Amino acid sequence: MTEPAAVGSVADIVLPPRSGPYRRNAWGFGLGTLGRDMAATMVSMFLLVYLTEVVQVSNAVLAAITVVLVVMRLFDAVNDPVMGLVVDNTRTRWGKFKPWIAGGALAWAAATVVMFSDWGVEGPLFVVVFVIVYLLWEVAYTVNDISYYGMLPSLSRNQIERERIGVVARVCANIGIFGFVIGLVPITSALEDLLSSAQSAWLALAVAVAVILLVFQTITLVTTKEQIAGERVHTPLRELFSVIARNDQLLWVTLAMVLFMTGYTVTTSLGLYYFTYIYGDVGMYPVFAAILGVSQIGGLLLFPLASAKLGRRRVHLLATVSCAVGYVVFLFAGTSMLFIGIAGVLLFAGQAFIQLLMMMFIADSVEYGQWKLGRRNESVTFSLQPFIYKAASALASGAIGVTLILSGINDAESAADVTDAGVLAFKIAMMVVPLVLVVVSWLILARRYRLDETRYAQIVADLRQRESAQEVRDGES
């Protein structure tokens, strides 16, 4: 494999310089994230907003739904490796990833529309219907997500190429995420005026998101092509958890990132509540979201430059410090939008680095697992990425539900209805707890993760020697 040129500029990252399969894979895979991350964001960040502000569920129903979200997301997260095993054992003329990507996308789009439809029920029956619809949504999401990100390690084995593909993917994902976040309030307000119903406005938005999801997933299906086929070895179900448990580097990444993403999800999910009930001006939320979006995308574009000059370990430390300082500034910012904006830049630029590092750490664990166990399991390995997001989302959902109830925000009509004690409880949940989780996450990876650039290069070289030797043996037989 020809080595790519060294990273030299932001332009090189935005438009990968190589032609052929690498460039097609970078854009084809990256663009596929745009619509799917919109759909994921609509539910992961704003489902509770929809339920409390539009449907206006009672505290009793909110408490029941909170328990449901925690249990179902944890249960679904544990099942992700099983889906990874199914994908890894799939053999079709279209490869093992694309059939599941396509089927998952179709079901996911449909479930998203149903999620924000008017079910016409209340009380306990509402909770029952919610369980059914949410389960369908989670299953569809799992099928698509496991197969989609499982494909990433097969697109290239080169770390620099993977970083660039990852950057394009995360930039497109963040355009989808923050495009949705920024547009949520003005778009739903405009649709509500047009349709005379807040619920109809959210349903119309869900339909639009579902269409965008399908369009961009189609781009991925048409343009991407696997470059690393891997061994045609069947992995039996009885060996599934052994494949994960014996990959110690993957386990340390998973633990550290569950902690980090739990804190991050709590912060982002409480954002709209913060500007509505703490800051007192919901109109500033789209402005804040725009600042965060630009910060994240800027951080992603700068990542390969920073990684090339500093190495991943130093980049991880720098990003963690940036997040920690951002939380401290946010905590003491008061009503100053200037300091809130500074906190957002620090927090989300650092978070962009860490999320991309997480993707790269997991991708590199594929080769580590192949080197250590003699079997290449991309989807099983990458099933730990959605596991991270779902486990973090489950823990965060519990924290968010408890925070909204204990702070009094679920019963509040405006910022004036929230007591000082409620404000303090809210800020501790949104800023202090995530700060602690960020620091603990860094400590785990700093002490336990060993796949730096040098070690990874040694593993890949050894794998290539094994593959060459196997080709010789196959030729002689």
Alpha-carbon distance of 88 to 77, in angstroms, equals 18
Q: What are phi and psi of 41, to 5 degrees?
A: -65, -40
User: Does residue 252 belong to any structural domain of this protein?
Assistant: yes
Taking residues 21-25, report their average pLDDT: 77
Max mean pLDDT range (69-83, 159-173, 217-231, 331-345): 331-345
Residue 22 has pLDDT above 60, yes or no: yes
Residue 341 has pLDDT above 70, yes or no: yes
Alpha-carbon distance of 138 to 457, in angstroms, equals 37
Q: For residue 257, what pLDDT is reported?
A: 92
- Dump pLDDT digits (tens) for 187-211: 999 999 999 899 999 999 999 999 9
The residues near 58 (Cβ < 8 Å, ≥ 6 apart) are: none
CA neighbours within 13 Å on the CB side: how many for 240? 19
Confidence class for position 447, pLDDT limits 50, 70, 90: very high
Side chain identity at 415, as an amino acid letter?
A
Residue 177 has pLDDT above 50, yes or no: yes
Q: For residue 11, what pLDDT is reported?
A: 42
Q: For residue 1, what pLDDT is reported?
A: 35
CB atoms within 10 A of CB 305: 16
- Domain count of the fold of the chain: 1
Tokens of 394: 């489950």
Where is average pLDDT lowest: 156-165, 214-223, 442-451?
156-165
Alpha-carbon distance of 260 to 440, in angstroms, equals 8
Question: What CATH number has the domain bearing residue 25?
Answer: 1.20.1250.20
Query: Which structural domain, as residue segments, surrounds residue 400?
Result: 20-227+239-465
**Collapsed DSSP state (helix, strand, coil) of residue 156:** coil
Residue 18 has pLDDT above 60, yes or no: no
User: Does residue 234 belong to any structural domain of this protein?
Assistant: no
Alpha-carbon distance of 76 to 78, in angstroms, equals 5
Per-position b or e across 248-271, b if 16+ CB within 10 A of its CB = ebbebbbbbbbbbbbbbbbbbbbb
User: Does residue 13 belong to any structural domain of this protein?
Assistant: no
Where is average pLDDT lowest: 7-21, 56-70, 333-347, 405-419?
7-21
- Dump pLDDT digits (tens) for 368-398: 888 888 777 766 776 777 778 878 888 888 8
Side chain identity at 139, as an amino acid letter?
V
Where is average pLDDT lowest: 177-191, 281-295, 319-333, 460-474?
460-474
Per the model's pLDDT, the better-predicted residue between 236 and 443 turns out to be 443
Where is average pLDDT lowest: 6-15, 93-102, 249-258?
6-15
User: Does residue 357 belong to any structural domain of this protein?
Assistant: yes
User: Does residue 6 belong to any structural domain of this protein?
Assistant: no
Q: How far apart are the first and last CA of the chain?
A: 26
Distances in Å between the Cα of 74 and the Cα atoms of 68, 70, 388 are 10, 6, 10
Per the model's pLDDT, the better-predicted residue between 390 and 449 turns out to be 449
DSSP letter string over 322-360? HHHHHHHHHHT-TT-HHHHHHHHHHHHHHHHHHHHHHHH
Confidence class for position 3, pLDDT limits 50, 70, 90: very low
Residue 227 has pLDDT above 70, yes or no: no
The answer to whether 343 and 326 are in contact (CB under 8 A) is: yes
Tokens of 15: 């438009």
Please report, rounded to a whole number, the percentage of residues in the chain having pLDDT higher than 90.
Answer: 34
Q: What is the mean pLDDT of the chain?
A: 84
Residue 412 has pLDDT above 90, yes or no: no
Residue 7 has pLDDT above 70, yes or no: no
Taking residues 179-194, report their average pLDDT: 89
Cβ burial, residue 407 (10 Å; 0-12/13-18/19+): buried
Alpha-carbon distance of 288 to 307, in angstroms, equals 28
Alpha-carbon distance of 216 to 102, in angstroms, equals 11
The answer to whether 263 and 437 are in contact (CB under 8 A) is: yes
- Dump pLDDT digits (tens) for 65-83: 888 888 887 777 777 777 7
Q: For residue 440, what pLDDT is reported?
A: 96
Alpha-carbon distance of 247 to 251, in angstroms, equals 7
User: Does residue 435 belong to any structural domain of this protein?
Assistant: yes
- Dump pLDDT digits (tens) for 152-175: 777 877 777 777 888 888 889 888
Q: Per the confidence metrics, is the pTM higher than 0.85? A: no
User: Does residue 475 belong to any structural domain of this protein?
Assistant: no
Q: For residue 394, what pLDDT is reported?
A: 81
Tokens of 143: 């099928």
Alpha-carbon distance of 377 to 242, in angstroms, equals 12
User: Does residue 473 belong to any structural domain of this protein?
Assistant: no
Q: For residue 367, what pLDDT is reported?
A: 85
